[in-house]
Amino acid sequence: VTAMLLDPPPEVGLFVGLAQLPGLETPFCQTLSIVVQAHVETGPPTDDDRRGYQALRRAHMAQGLLLLDVVITDGDTVRSLAIGCDPDPVWFDEFDPGAVDAA
């Protein structure tokens, strides 16, 4: 189960519903943080972005959680700090779509 965090929080009324699916009562084990900024710089992450990403990743690991990514967006441009900062990002792990169907 993945927790998705939105920074800054959305205005009230943005989410109109919540699906009641089996397994939602299970605690989450990984997070995806979405950060909305006025402008997203292109190119490699800044030193501040790298330090912040690594600190957040260490905090997740200390709690037994997996930080999937910190995605920065302005609505038009999206930047993945996992791909830019992590030498071994989870996005490049092998994935077998058939394993999901079997579960």
pLDDT digits (tens, 9 = 90+) for 38-59: 999 888 888 998 899 899 989 9
Identify which of 39, 56, 54, 61 has the alpha carbon closest to the alpha carbon of residue 84.
54
Residue 16 has pLDDT above 50, yes or no: no
| pLDDT band, very low/low/confident/very high, at 101 (cuts 50, 70, 90) | low
Helix H or strand E encompassing 35: strand 30-36
Of 9, 16, 13, the C-alpha closest to 34 is 9
Residue 86 DSSP class: -
Average pLDDT over residues 63-77: 88
Q: Give residues with Cβ within 8 angstroms of 65, minimum separation 6.
A: 28, 29, 30, 31
